[in-house]
Amino acid sequence: WISKAPMAGKAIERVLKSPLLRQEAFIGGAWVHAKDRRTFDVHNPSNREAICSVPDMNTHDAADAIEKAHAVRKTWGGLLAKERCGIVRRWYNLIVEKQEELAHILTAEQGKPLVESRGEVAYAASFVEWFAEEGKRVYGDTIPTSAHGKRFLVIKQPVGVAALITPWNFPLAMITRKAGAALAAGCPVVIKPAEDTPLSALALAKLAEEAGFPAGVYNTVTCSKDTVKSVGNELALSEKVAAVSFTGSTATGKLLMSLCANSVKKVSLELGGNAPFIVFDSADLSAAVSGAMASKFRNTGQTCVSANRFLVQESIHEKFCQKLKESIEALKVDDGFADGAQQGPLINEKALDKVKRHVEDAILKGAHAVCGGRPGASGGTFYMPTLLTNVDSTMIMTKEETFGPVVGIAKFKTEEEAIALANETQYGLAGYFYSQSPSQMWRVAEALECGMVGVNEGLLSSEITPFGGIKQSGVGREGSKYGIEDYMEIKYICMGSL
């Protein structure tokens, strides 16, 4: 079932020889070890073997990075937008040029199939390219005066140092989506990548160094799960940090938000989701199955906008399930470097345990496993793509993100019932539905309580559109023309005696 692909070993050798593989953090324009010289290992999730080690930094290291960034905030923010964005553009060019090396590092530490890693590099680069242009289009405003002899102006200025805390599921794109905006706006950044995937972050730092960002503008602090809380606290509590952007769990986001309140920072949060995927009886079933596969099984189901609750109208339930079963059973599960791999491992044992718990709970409460429903035969953190039917709202998988390759399907009778079920959650990141009725498209798109809606579409992310949620799925938007606003302050200027 899992090939012991010889090419996987060769790919790891390639990663270890790559000049983009860094084993030091990047602070103040220099590659540095932790002050106490502590390190932690980075593992390949396919076999849990160590790839290399990186610095396990603590609050003193984080404070140093903040200090270095704070010292250059006025210099970087004072450059012409064209000057800043020229450097951001060079960073984009280097990311594109090094796509293959970046993709290999990403697959080695994150596990996703190499073809998906190549796609993520392109996706990550798109945000840098976008903000390299958008940074030159940060416009102010003039307001008609309310009194003679006065003029009212509005300008936008960089907020200051931005702390960016990023997840492991898209370790390249989640950095560039934040850092591209912050850097173009004129904000120095301190990046704290996830402990599972620091190598991708350090590779981006190497390319940022080559692009020519001045020392202190771009900083990357790595740390293990043992020090992540103290480092996060330092970033959130430091008065020299003006903005914090975080992608991760709702629980952690709430904690960071409360810590940031101490110094009233700007906060942007992209948190948990529980996306509904609704299939109405007028839907094109082939298109709906394709959309379901794209939304659910990209990155082995480990995406924050992954469809989590499938709702299918009764009259088409059997046909849809049969078509979906055929597509799921055709997926190839393998090491990310293996030829044709479509599903890689889950990121770690904790992730595997959660998927197992969700499936076991659902089956115990009456769900039927049509296919899958078990870990991979060769062990590790692989889990077989799974289809469950007869799912209902008593099951854990309908209340929490599964974050794995599991589809759970419930039936519904009416449009009103489907909308009520879809909105019956504290989360509101993404939602999807399939229908061929124009009036129904408008009604349901407006009724779904989420920040992003895919209508007859399972993939909705793009650098030119706003990404973000409502309710407990977060605040703020990333990407698009709106994404740079989280790193800008609005200043009103009243000019008198004219």
* 194 SS3 class: coil
Largest Cα–Cα separation, the chain: 80
Beta bridge partners of 44: 49
With vertex at residue 249, the alpha carbon angle to CA 245 and CA 250, rounded to the nearest 5 degrees, is 85
Separation CA 184–CA 6 (nearest Å): 43
Query: Looking at 304, 321, 401, 478, which residue is catalytic?
Result: 304
Separation CA 260–CA 476 (nearest Å): 15
Pick from 159, 155, 128: nearest CA to 141: 155
* 340 SS3 class: coil
Does the annotation mark 100 as catalytic? no
The strand ranges marked E within 5-46 are 25-27, 30-32, 39-44
The answer to whether the beta carbons of residues 295 and 498 sit under 8 Å apart is no
User: From the CA atom positions of the chain, what is the Rg in Å?
Assistant: 23
The strand ranges marked E within 332-457 are 368-371, 386-389, 406-412, 427-428, 430-434, 452-455
Query: Looking at 234, 270, 401, 463, which residue is catalytic?
Result: 270
Does the annotation mark 85 as catalytic? no
CA 369 to each of CA 4, 353, 361, 391, 412: distance values in angstroms, whole numbers, following the listed order: 28, 18, 12, 10, 19
List active site positions: 270, 304
